Chains A and B, each alone.
Chain A
Amino acid sequence: QKEVEQNSGPLSVPEGAIASLNCTYSDRGSQSFFWYRQYSGKSPELIMFIYSNGDKEDGRFTAQLNKASQYVSLLIRDSQPSDSATYLCAVNWHSSASKIIFGSGTRLSIRP
Chain B
Amino acid sequence: DTEVTQTPKHLVMGMTNKKSLKCEQHMGHRAMYWYKQKAKKPPELMFVYSYEKLSINESVPSRFSPECPNSSLLNLHLHALQPEDSALYLCASSLGSGDEQYFGPGTRLTVT
Q: Which residues of A contact B (CB under 8 A)?
A: 31-32, 34, 36, 42-46, 49, 88, 92, 96-100, 102-105
Q: Is the CB of B100 within 8 A of A98?
A: no
B22 to chain A, nearest CB (A): 15
A15–B2 alpha-carbon span in the complex (Å): 29
Q: Is the CB of A98 within 8 A of B42?
A: no
Report, as a range, how many residues of chain B touch the other chain.
20 to 34
A residues within 8 A CB of B98? 31-32, 92, 97-98
Interface contacts (Cβ under 8 Å), in number, total 50
* 7 A-B pairs in the complex with CB atoms less than 8 angstroms apart: A36-B103, A43-B88, A43-B105, A44-B103, A46-B103, A98-B56, A104-B42
Pick out which of these stretches binds chain A: B12-20, B43-51, B79-87: B43-51
CB contact under 8 A between A98 and B43, given known A43-B106, A46-B100 = no
B residues within 8 A CB of A46? 2, 100-103
The interface residues of chain A, by DSSP majority, are classed as strand
B25 to chain A, nearest CB (A): 14
Q: Is the CB of A43 within 8 A of B56?
A: no
B44 to chain A, nearest CB (A): 8
B90 within 8 A of A: yes
B97 within 8 A of A: yes
Q: Give the interface centre of B2, B45, B98, B102 by most chain A CB atoms within 10 Å.
A: B98
A36, closest chain B residue (CB): B103
B104 within 8 A of A: yes
Q: Is the CB of A49 within 8 A of B41?
A: no
A102–B42 alpha-carbon span in the complex (Å): 6
A96–B2 alpha-carbon span in the complex (Å): 24
B70 within 8 A of A: no
Q: Is the CB of A88 within 8 A of B97?
A: no
B residues within 8 A CB of A43? 88, 90, 103-106
